[in-house]
Amino acid sequence: MPAPTGALGPHALRGLAHPLRVRILALLREHGASTATRLADRLGESSGATSYHLRQLAAYGFVEDLPGRGAGRERWWRTVARHNDSAVHLRAAAAGTLQRLHDFLGGAADLPPEWLAGIAIDDVSVRLSPAQAVELLGRIRELLIDLPERAAGSEDVVVQWQVFPRLAPRRQASRRNQR
């Protein structure tokens, strides 16, 4: 049963209830389509475990089989395009972001010193209208697309950002009461 694209419900959350599923989704979003075996190798898990969790993610509408790719029993999986207004999608993306940050911090002590100036975990509060928030996201995407693909000494770098309104405590409480 596909996950809803709007309201967050307990049924849809079950699709993301296992941390391995969140990690699988993050890898598929970051690296594109893959097989259970390839994902198992990257995650240090068995292919049986990743295969099971891929089928669970498919049952909840988060991934789908990629037809026409693979040979024999090999199945390729990709993420399903989701609406950005989906609370389920946003929660899954946030969990993947947190996992990537956690993984990075586990190995950050081994970074070469020249990388230290190029790392930031920061936030800035600004006042924006919804239209300005959309414009800001577009400008960030354009900036990233315009960067040179490869440069001497380059590494794959994860660029993460969040843009969301800061909810006043009264609004948060009234939303909880509406559920």
If one counts every other C-beta atom within 10 angstroms of the C-beta of residue 61, the result is 17
- Strand pairing partners for 65? 77
Percent of the chain clearing pLDDT 70 (strictly above): 82
User: How far is Cα 36 from Cα 42, in angstroms, rounded to an integer?
Assistant: 10
If one counts every other C-beta atom within 10 angstroms of the C-beta of residue 172, the result is 10
Q: What is the pLDDT of residues 146-157, one digit of tens each?
A: 887 777 878 888
If one counts every other C-beta atom within 10 angstroms of the C-beta of residue 91, the result is 15
Confidence check: pLDDT of 66 > 90 = no
Domain boundaries, the chain: 1-101, 122-148+158-179
Whole-prediction pTM: 0.53
Q: What is the pLDDT of residues 21-42, one digit of tens each?
A: 988 988 888 888 999 999 999 9
Q: Decide which of 15 and 78 is more confident.
A: 78
User: Which listed CATH number (1.10.10.10, 1.10.3720.10, 1.10.3210.10, 3.30.70.2740) goes with 1-101?
Assistant: 1.10.10.10
